[in-house]
C-alpha cells in the first residue's frame, strides 16, 4: 500500500487531471494501433495505404509520448505528443469532412467529435507551453528559464 501511495504522490498535481490526460493518450494510442492494424476502408480509400500509415503513426507516437509524459508532468515531451496527435487528427478531420461533402451519408457527428478532441489538444498545449516541466514540481526550472 505504501508503494502505491508513493507512486500516487509522484503524479503531477492536480492528479485527477493528470490521470485523465494519461487515459486520453492511452485511448489515442489504442485507436492509432487499430488504424495501423486494420485501417477504416473509407478513409484508407481517400488517403491510401501510405497516408493511413502516416496518420496512424503520428497519433501513435503522440499517444505513446503523451502516456509517458502526462503523469510526471514532463511538458517538453508532452508538447511533442500534442503536436503529433493534433497533426494526425487534423488530417483525419479533413478527410472526414471531405467524405461528408462528396459522398452520401452523414459524417458530421464524427467530424465534430474529432474536432472537439483537437480543441482538447490545443487546450492542453496552452497549459503546458511555457515550461519544460510543471513548475510546481520543479521550482529550480523556473529560475533557469526566467533567467533569475
Which residue matches cell numbers 491510401? Answer: 48
Whether 71 has a pLDDT exceeding 80, the answer reads yes
pTM for this model (two decimals): 0.84
pLDDT of residue 135: 63
Integer Cα distance of 142 and 130 in angstroms: 10
Taking only the tens place, the pLDDT of each residue in 9-43 is 889 989 999 999 999 999 999 999 999 999 888 77
Whether residue 55 contacts residue 91, with contact meaning beta carbons closer than 8 Å, is answered with: yes
pLDDT of residue 18: 94
pLDDT of residue 131: 76
Q: Which residues of 118-141 are buried (b: 16+ CB within 10 A; e: fewer)?
A: bebbeebbeebeebbbbbeeeeee
Taking only the tens place, the pLDDT of each residue in 76-125 is 999 999 999 999 999 999 999 999 999 899 999 999 999 999 999 999 99
Helix, strand, coil distribution of the chain in percent, nearest 5? 80, 0, 20
Return the C-alpha cell found at 83: 503536436
Whether residue 79 contacts residue 128, with contact meaning beta carbons closer than 8 Å, is answered with: yes
| Main-chain phi, psi angles of 138, to 5 degrees | -135, 80
Amino acid at each position: 500500500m505504501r508503494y502505491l501511495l508513493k507512486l500516487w504522490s509522484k503524479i503531477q498535481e492536480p492528479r485527477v487531471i493528470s490521470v485523465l490526460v494519461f487515459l486520453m493518450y492511452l485511448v489515442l494510442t489504442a485507436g492509432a494501433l487499430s488504424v495501423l492494424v486494420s485501417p477504416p476502408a473509407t478513409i484508407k480509400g481517400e488517403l491510401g495505404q501510405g497516408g493511413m500509415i502516416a496518420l496512424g503513426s503520428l497519433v501513435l507516437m503522440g499517444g505513446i509520448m503523451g502516456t509517458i509524459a502526462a503523469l510526471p508532468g514532463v511538458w517538453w515531451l508532452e508538447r511533442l505528443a500534442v503536436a503529433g496527435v493534433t497533426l494526425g487528427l487534423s488530417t483525419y478531420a479533413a478527410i472526414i469532412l471531405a467524405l461528408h461533402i462528396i459522398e452520401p451519408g452523414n459524417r458530421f457527428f464524427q467530424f465534430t467529435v474529432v474536432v472537439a478532441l483537437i480543441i482538447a489538444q490545443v487546450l492542453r498545449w496552452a497549459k503546458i507551453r511555457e515550461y519544460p516541466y510543471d513548475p510546481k514540481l520543479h521550482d529550480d526550472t523556473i529560475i533557469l528559464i526566467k533567467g533569475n
